[in-house]
Amino acid sequence: MDVQQRNLGRIETLVSLAAALADKTPLLLRVEDLHWAQPTLLRYMTALVGVAARHPIILLQTSQLQGDPLDAAWRAGIGAAPITTLDLGPLNADEARNLVFDFEGVDADWAAACIERSGGNPLFLDQLLRSSDGTDGADGQAIPGSVQSVVQSRIDALIPQDRTALQAASVLGLRFALDALRFVMGDSAYQPDNLLQFNLIRRSEGAFQFYHALFRDAVHGSFLKGRRQELHLKAADWYQDRDAVLYAEHLGEAGSERAPIAFQRAARAEAEAYRIERALELVERGLGLLGEGTDRFDLAAHRADLLRELGRPEEALDAWEEASNLAMTDRQRCLAWIGVAAVNRLMSWRERGTGALEQAEAIARREGMEVELAEIYCYRGGAAFVAGDFEQCLNFHNESLRHARLGGSYRWEATALGGIADAEYGRGRMRNAADSFERCFALCRAHGLLDIESRNRFMMGVTRRYVDGHDVAMEEFRAAGKMAEDVHNVRAAMMANMLSGEVLIDMADFEGAEPHLQDAVRVARSLSNKRMELYCLYELSRRALGLRQTDRAIEIMNEVMAIGRETGINFHGPRLFALNAVLQTDPEECRQSLAEGAALVAVGANAHNVLWFHRDAIDACLNVGDIDEARVHSQALLDFTVEEKLPWAEFFATRGQVLAECAEGKGEAAALANAVEQGRQLGLLIALPELEDALSQLA
């Protein structure tokens, strides 16, 4: 008997056995992985299809598309036998979780990582789960050898052109464009028809994508490192003028010495688009590629500055200290000292910041660094503002403006204009301040400096509330808050929230104020900014008082005063002492608190301290029966604003005067009604109940 006759005999035996068994009970015959089948086995399958058509037999066969032997020729050979084809898609999330249940003792986080990484491929999921139980520190990123073998076999089955294309595609990533693929593989006419037919890739929104991320990773790890780096360099060439981030990443994968600089350029591009977290990641990747003995300062300094922008001052300060240790030139040392000062500004000007500016200025003057001098004078102006020296603040910012223009820096010119506006605000010149802010914003919009506008925008609301009322101010604060969120400016968002809360309290919207203030105090604490934490708590005390929760207001105010005396109370001191006086029931304690506030006003205080001190001092004096003193504070509001009239100050002065008249039994209904209308127009609803009560008593 020859080989052919023996094979025919085996087929007949198999067919007879299957038919005999099926006559006793229906059969399900399962044959898996037919893509590995030899031609001889296919003849067995043809015979089984024939017997299944005549007997109660279901023949279940599985095959991959790549290497599927059940082609048109084979189907023609089975005649009219019924056949149904099912294309199986990936497991959905529930199906994948059900598969996980078959594995005992698998860590939940590990199982979730495996499900995500498998892409719904049951074999991949099974092998990932078998490779670890998640308790050994594995992260699900390693490729099991069994999966690598399966992938390698599918790669080996491809013709050379498709194999090259698959390697090039794996270098480009999970998703790739055809023109990029052709460039990297060096074949301008290539068509990925076979890769599509074998379900290795699929179409995806005008491009292509690997069917599974794990398959892409396995392909990427399947060829030699030298070849992989060569293809990554080609990919970098493709992206050089198209995508700064991908250009850097491919250079990094190729081990190119150009990669660190590319990562820094990519980080700058991301930062300019206000994607600060992403920029930080890129800078840190660039730093990781630099070896010992290389100039690491630029990347280290960039990292420190990004940490500052993200509102992580403690980390930023450490990073700037590290950068200063890496400085190899005087210019780099100057930049490092400026960086230290910038972080200290965020943290309410600690002594370290002032010393850093002195060291930076000495170098900047010697080296003729105009832009850096503009930055230094800007920070000096900020320190003078905090100290309450507004004439000096104005001088410093004007000097900053001069250096910025000499250095041709629109960025520092805009920053200086914002500083000049702050100084005018500190002097109580609200309209001058608004004008300087408008000039600052116009420059920002002309030169794409949205980050500078965002950190100053809330001040338009601050200045306009004294002139145009609280409805207008709230519109400005909402716009400032949105802008700050858009550019991820943590400090500016905090200020917009805090000031929104302050204005809403004055508008008697106590419920609306609370979330703004709670969010602001949370951020202030995260920034280690005691000065702003104190301010937020002060506003929460005002809110409690507005709700007639006097005990709670006193409790918060005690905390405020403790923080102020510990960290320095001068910046907000006058208004703190005035509110504290309002909360006192003992006349002597009230007068003592007002005396402390008045002493700070006398030595120089910014406009909001002067205005708010006299505003609350009026109520404190009326509460304890010091009617003449209430009149003194009312007049002080008018005297302070004599060079620039402010409707806000005029209202509180008028209110104090008419309430003082009422306290002496001399109240006039017309004067009270006018004051009520004046306050209502400005949105100062919190100040109306006393006026309305007095008016009702005269009715």
**Do the Cβ atoms of 345 and 377 come closer than 8 Å?**
no
Res 367 pLDDT > 60: yes
* pLDDT tens digits for range 250-295: 999 999 989 999 999 999 988 887 788 899 999 999 988 887 656 7
CA atoms within 13 A on the CB side of 464: 20
Which amino acid is it at 230? E
Res 102 pLDDT > 70: no
Taking the CB of residue 620, how many other CB atoms lie within 10 A of it?
26
Res 141 pLDDT > 70: no
**Averaged pLDDT, 414-421:** 96
* pLDDT tens digits for range 157-190: 789 999 999 999 999 998 899 999 999 999 999 9
Q: How far apart are CA 302 and CA 634, in angstroms?
A: 51
**Averaged pLDDT, 396-414:** 97
In sign, the C-alpha dihedral spanning 672, 676, 681, 684 is: positive
What local confidence, expressed as pLDDT, does residue 487 receive? 84
**Averaged pLDDT, 449-474:** 93
Pairing of strands 175-176, 207-210: antiparallel
Taking the CB of residue 321, how many other CB atoms lie within 10 A of it?
15
Res 41 pLDDT > 90: no
Res 335 pLDDT > 80: yes
Residue 224 or 42, more confident: 224
What local confidence, expressed as pLDDT, does residue 567 receive? 79
User: Percentage of the chain with pLDDT > 90?
Assistant: 55
What local confidence, expressed as pLDDT, does residue 531 receive? 85
Res 1 pLDDT > 60: no
Least Cα distance to 492 among 461, 457, 521 occurs for: 457
What local confidence, expressed as pLDDT, does residue 142 receive? 60
Res 302 pLDDT > 80: yes
Least Cα distance to 412 among 366, 457, 368, 381 occurs for: 381
**Averaged pLDDT, 638-667:** 94
Residue 204 — very low, low, confident or very high, per pLDDT cuts 50/70/90? confident
Q: Is 325 helix (H, G, I), strand (E, B) or coil?
A: helix
The kind and range of the H/E element at 203 are strand 201-204
Res 631 pLDDT > 80: yes
**Do the Cβ atoms of 616 and 596 come closer than 8 Å?**
no
What local confidence, expressed as pLDDT, does residue 351 receive? 55
What local confidence, expressed as pLDDT, does residue 293 receive? 55
Chain-centroid distance, C-alpha 640: 42
Res 140 pLDDT > 60: no
Q: How far apart are CA 239 and CA 544, in angstroms?
A: 58
Taking the CB of residue 196, how many other CB atoms lie within 10 A of it?
14
Which tokens belong to 548? 């007639």
What local confidence, expressed as pLDDT, does residue 527 receive? 81
**Averaged pLDDT, 408-418:** 96
**Averaged pLDDT, 367-379:** 94
> Cα-flanking dihedrals φ and ψ of residue 621, to 5°?
-65, -40
Res 52 pLDDT > 80: no
**Averaged pLDDT, 524-539:** 89
What local confidence, expressed as pLDDT, does residue 611 receive? 96
* pLDDT tens digits for range 57-85: 888 887 766 556 766 666 766 766 777 77
Taking the CB of residue 373, how many other CB atoms lie within 10 A of it?
25
Res 403 pLDDT > 90: yes
**Averaged pLDDT, 437-448:** 95
**Do the Cβ atoms of 68 and 34 come closer than 8 Å?**
yes
**Averaged pLDDT, 550-561:** 95
Mean of the per-residue pLDDT values for the chain?
Answer: 87
What local confidence, expressed as pLDDT, does residue 135 receive? 53
Q: CA 351, 353, 354, 357: dihedral to nearest 10 degrees?
A: 160
Residue 560 or 120, more confident: 560
What local confidence, expressed as pLDDT, does residue 688 receive? 96
Residue 221 — very low, low, confident or very high, per pLDDT cuts 50/70/90? confident
User: Percentage of the chain with pLDDT > 70?
Assistant: 90
* pLDDT tens digits for range 475-518: 999 999 999 988 888 889 999 999 999 999 999 999 999 999 99
Q: How far apart are CA 40 and CA 38, in angstroms?
A: 5
What local confidence, expressed as pLDDT, does residue 73 receive? 66
Lowest mean pLDDT among 242-246, 274-278, 654-658: 274-278
What local confidence, expressed as pLDDT, does residue 507 receive? 96
Q: How far apart are CA 61 and CA 12, in angstroms?
A: 20
